[in-house]
Amino acid sequence: MPIALIVLALSAFAIGTTEFVIMGLLPEVATDLSVSIPGAGWLVTGYALGVAIGAPIMALATSSWPRKAALMTLMSIFIAGNLFCALAPDYQMLMAARIVTALCHGAFFGIGSVVAASLVPANRRASAVALMFTGLTLANVLGVPLGTALGQAAGWRSTFWAVTLIGVLALIGLWRYLPNRHDAEKADLRSEIRALNNAGLWLALSTTVLFSASMFALFTYIAPLLGEVTGVSPHGITLTLLLIGLGLTLGNVLGGRFADRQLKLTLITVFASMATISTLFSWTSQALIPAEITLFLWAVAAFAAVPALQVNVVTFGSGAPNLVSTLNIGAFNVGNALGAWLGGVVIAQGFGLSSVPFAAAALAVLALFALLLTYNTRRPDAVTATEPTATFALNE
């Protein structure tokens, strides 16, 4: 595999880390900036909304650029955003910096996946795109727990300084190793927009939103829940995040394999499992070992849905693959924002951290209903498992 693919994976690692690490640092950020835990949770919501809004805007803005120039510009925005996060004097400036950082997210993965596929022969394109998105998986397995540990030891700002440095290294790598031959191809946006007139597609996107909301209603507040309810130490929270990252990785692999065989059944099983496990966690969160086991199983179930949902959306939106891929990035992040907000509402209304898993379970049930309604709309056309877009266009 070309070195440029390693650089793209490093970029994905940096972007994934900065998105998710804030959840492990919520207590530190809330204390330092004198805001509540739900208030700090809005930093997750702000980032997610920045991705949802920025993905189509930045994709259109850079559509006529050479892809190398587009990727370097997007990475420069990422670096600037993390630098502002590290320097933010108050909560409002940190929120603004998070939104600036998020603007590059969706477009970078969309353009980056096209570039990754073009770097290798046709029979290795899926592997090349998969290697790029390995950076996202490693962000959950290594970036989040290590970033959390660094933030707890040296202050939460140190984590953003570290991510800024990784971004600089990625930018240098893009400049040095990415070939200049990737000229942008103009997409037929009019035909793709016409293809969006499909009720099944919008129901599939709604399913993605509800799934992501279920996941992030719990994931956003996992650090304070473990600390205040389970009684886990800051070091123990870091280890738990590592355990969750391993579960997410395993779930991503299993979900892709099962979805290749039975897409609908895989999603039904995942949503039912998420609802059951989230409900169970409301009780197991009171004790360390049961809580750790439950969270690992929850992580496996949650990320098993990610490749399946990508195939699901592309199946119903096969007439607009480019735009659907971007919209699905937005759908995941709208769900992230919705889940973080709903979890904060549950806490703010006095129900307590132990009630957050119930909210996550309710959202998983809604995702299941949306899925069943989607498949009652029309019978989707088959999508081959070998299409890189179907498997790898969004793995986050």
The tens digit of pLDDT for each residue in 253-291 reads 787 778 777 888 989 999 999 999 999 999 999 999 999
Average pLDDT over residues 111-123: 76
Average pLDDT over residues 364-386: 73
- Give the pLDDT confidence score for residue 120 in this predicted structure: 77
Q: Which of 33, 14, 15, 336 is nearest to 156 (CA)?
A: 33
- Give the pLDDT confidence score for residue 2 in this predicted structure: 83
- Give the pLDDT confidence score for residue 385 in this predicted structure: 38
- Give the pLDDT confidence score for residue 1 in this predicted structure: 64
Our CA dihedral for 18, 24, 26, 31, rounded to 10 degrees, sits at -110
**Contacts (Cβ under 8 Å, ≥6 apart) of 4:** 115, 119, 173, 174, 177, 178, 179
Whether the per-residue pLDDT at 340 is higher than 60: the answer is yes
Contact in structure between 355 and 225 (CB atoms under 8 Å): no
The CA distance from 19 to 163, in Å, is 11
Q: Where in the chain is the domain with CATH 1.20.1250.20?
A: 1-186, 189-396
Tokens linked to 373: 């309604």
How far is the first Cα of the chain from the last one, in angstroms, to the nearest whole number? 23
Whether the per-residue pLDDT at 126 is higher than 60: the answer is no
- Give the pLDDT confidence score for residue 258 in this predicted structure: 81
Average pLDDT over residues 81-108: 93
Q: Chain-wide mean pLDDT for the chain?
A: 84
Lowest mean pLDDT among 27-41, 42-56, 83-97: 42-56
Average pLDDT over residues 380-385: 43
DSSP assignment letter at 286: T
pLDDT tier, 188 (very low <50, low <70, confident <90, very high otherwise): low
The CA distance from 394 to 390, in Å, is 9
For 189-396, which CATH class? mainly alpha
128: left (phi over 0), alpha (psi -120 to 50) or beta: alpha
Average pLDDT over residues 221-226: 89
Query: What percent of the chain shows pLDDT beyond 90?
Result: 41
Contact in structure between 383 and 307 (CB atoms under 8 Å): no
The CATH architecture annotation of domain 1-186 reads Up-down Bundle (1.20)
Q: Which of 189, 210, 186, 133 is nearest to 324 (CA)?
A: 189
DSSP assignment letter at 380: P
Contact in structure between 136 and 10 (CB atoms under 8 Å): no
Average pLDDT over residues 358-364: 95
Whether the per-residue pLDDT at 387 is higher than 50: the answer is no
Whether the per-residue pLDDT at 389 is higher than 90: the answer is no
- Give the pLDDT confidence score for residue 383 in this predicted structure: 42
